[in-house]
Amino acid sequence: MKILHVGKYYPPYRGGMETALQNLAEGQLDAGCDVSLLTAGHGSVDSREIIRGPHSGREGTLLRAAVRGVFSSQPLTPNLVGLLRREVALFKPDVVHLHLPNPLAAAAWLGLVGTGLPDRPPMVVWYHADITRQKMGRRLLQPLITACLKQAAGICVSSQSLADRSPVLQPYGHKVAVVPFGIEPHPWLDVEPRTDGAFLFVGRLVPYKGVAVLFDALATVPGAELIIVGEGPEKDNLLEQGQRLDIMDRVQFAGTLDEAAIAEHLSTARALVLPSIDASEAFGLVQLEAMGAAVPVIATDLPTGVPEVGVPEETGLLVPPGDAKALAAALKRLQDDPDLAQRLGQGGRARFGAMYSRERMVERLLNWYREILADGPSKGTA
């Protein structure tokens, strides 16, 4: 099967959508598919790269479109429509897979449709999340997203919660399928966890990630230490808050790290903490990394896919979002009970193996593609 993905960015840019896209593309290559990707680049000229399935060595193509500027965090790629048209004409994909919400992908597809390309392949959408924080952006972009959802032969989401709760998806429930994310097991399954070190946060330092709440909680748990992996605009505020709370002797900012370094931190982490405070956190892929490494997860009970990933008291602990007191109690519980931390970590590794491997995600998705190509829109869980 020949698959063309259209996304926003691709690694080394690190983000949830980018990590998911990399796992999907590499996993489909390893499954024997022909894969091409079109995303925004990082420079002023187009570039073409080779990507490979890590196990098969099978090669695919990554085309990064030239970026002429950035507006409201969105890269401006004026030639994206032309690049998409050329890829469709030359690569001749069986399926074009858009990753939304993403104005780049949506505008490129609608521009392609507007040019009247003959023999256009079916288009499907991976709908990653609702736009929740950017009210102006939501008003401007929603018509693009809605137009793509109307045209899509099928829509997949990573969680049942998003399928059930998203107001954007409600008119299209008949063609929504649930395909949980999966990641490459290496290096996570290689970790031999000790769960006797610091708590660990991994993610961008932006307000919705809830690190400020985590700092408030940490301040009331004597002896608890925290390592923060990631960078972002909230860092200066967090440094000021940490100094005010007098916890900086127990907090380490490790910066942006690669997977090998994150796995090394997980090997000693008491638990991964995902303290996100609103629905901008749609799934929390980092939970899968921790579960694969047999490290318990403390997450927040958001109305998204976050609480669906694990099982409370089996793989980790769940607390109300924004509740520093409840979060502190969860930290203290694992701080005081290493046997509990070990049991939850092993439960997470078992759940990871059963549900969240990259191979399992790719298998589900390819079956969904085949259903769409044979019978039209799919419904339910793939």
Structural domains counted in the chain: 2
Domain at 339, CATH number: 3.40.50.2000
pLDDT at 350: 97
pLDDT at 240: 98
Residue 308, CA distances (Å) to 166, 269, 321, 334 in order: 15, 22, 15, 21
- Give the number of other Cβ atoms within 10 Å of residue 236's Cβ: 9
Contact in structure between 273 and 201 (CB atoms under 8 Å): yes
In this structure, are 164 and 199 located in the same domain? no
Contact in structure between 2 and 93 (CB atoms under 8 Å): yes
Mean pLDDT of the chain: 92
Contact in structure between 296 and 348 (CB atoms under 8 Å): yes
pLDDT at 316: 98
Q: DSSP label at 82?
A: H
Half-sphere exposure of 148 (CA within 13 A, CB side): 29
In this structure, are 170 and 300 located in the same domain? no
In this structure, are 265 and 319 located in the same domain? yes
Q: Which of 17-21, 27-31, 353-357 has the highest mean pLDDT?
A: 27-31
> What average pLDDT does this structure show over 107-113?
88
Please tell me the distance from the alpha carbon of residue 293 to that of residue 288, in angstroms, as a whole number.
Answer: 8
pLDDT at 68: 86
Pairing of strands 226-229, 199-202: parallel
Q: DSSP label at 221?
A: S
Q: Which two tokens stand for residue 343?
A: 């049991």
Contact in structure between 332 and 269 (CB atoms under 8 Å): no
Contact in structure between 199 and 270 (CB atoms under 8 Å): yes
Chain segment 243-270, per-residue pLDDT in tens? 999 999 999 999 999 999 999 999 999 9
pLDDT at 312: 97
In this structure, are 256 and 362 located in the same domain? no
If we measure between CA atoms, which residue out of 10, 7, 1, 64 comes closest to residue 29?
A: 1
If we measure between CA atoms, which residue out of 216, 271, 289 comes closest to residue 247?
A: 216
pLDDT band for position 14 (cuts 50, 70, 90): confident
In this structure, are 348 and 365 located in the same domain? no
pLDDT band for position 136 (cuts 50, 70, 90): very low
> What average pLDDT does this structure show over 226-231?
97
In this structure, are 170 and 24 located in the same domain? yes
In this structure, are 211 and 347 located in the same domain? yes
In this structure, are 222 and 342 located in the same domain? yes
Q: Which two tokens stand for residue 347?
A: 């439960």
Please tell me the distance from the alpha carbon of residue 100 to that of residue 290, in angstroms, as a whole number.
Answer: 26
In this structure, are 291 and 322 located in the same domain? yes
Name the residue range of residue 55's domain: 2-183+358-381
Helix, strand, coil percentages in the chain from 3-state DSSP, rounded to 5? 45, 20, 35
First to last CA, the chain: 18
pLDDT at 268: 95
> What average pLDDT does this structure show over 76-105?
90
Residue 156, CA distances (Å) to 4, 152, 322, 370 in order: 16, 10, 29, 14
pLDDT at 140: 63
In this structure, are 17 and 128 located in the same domain? yes
pLDDT at 44: 87
pLDDT band for position 339 (cuts 50, 70, 90): very high
In this structure, are 159 and 225 located in the same domain? no
Please tell me the distance from the alpha carbon of residue 355 to that of residue 185, in angstroms, as a whole number.
Answer: 12
Please tell me the distance from the alpha carbon of residue 287 to that of residue 298, in angstroms, as a whole number.
Answer: 9
> What average pLDDT does this structure show over 190-206?
94
| pLDDT exceeds cutoff 80 at 3 | yes
Number of H helices, E strands in the chain: 13, 17
Please tell me the distance from the alpha carbon of residue 216 to that of residue 245, in angstroms, as a whole number.
Answer: 8
Chain segment 278-329, per-residue pLDDT in tens? 988 999 999 999 999 999 999 999 999 999 999 999 999 999 999 999 999 9
- Give the number of other Cβ atoms within 10 Å of residue 204's Cβ: 17
Residue 256, CA distances (Å) to 259, 283, 347 in order: 10, 20, 28
pLDDT at 143: 86
pLDDT band for position 111 (cuts 50, 70, 90): confident
Please tell me the distance from the alpha carbon of residue 96 to that of residue 85, in angstroms, as a whole number.
Answer: 11
Q: Between these two residues, 363 and 120, which has the higher pLDDT value?
A: 363
pLDDT band for position 377 (cuts 50, 70, 90): very low
Please tell me the distance from the alpha carbon of residue 91 to that of residue 2, in angstroms, as a whole number.
Answer: 8
Residue 347, CA distances (Å) to 64, 271, 356 in order: 40, 13, 13
Share of the chain above pLDDT 90, in %: 80
- Give the number of other Cβ atoms within 10 Å of residue 167's Cβ: 7
| pLDDT exceeds cutoff 60 at 43 | yes
In this structure, are 9 and 138 located in the same domain? yes
Rounded to two decimals, the pTM is: 0.87
pLDDT band for position 73 (cuts 50, 70, 90): confident
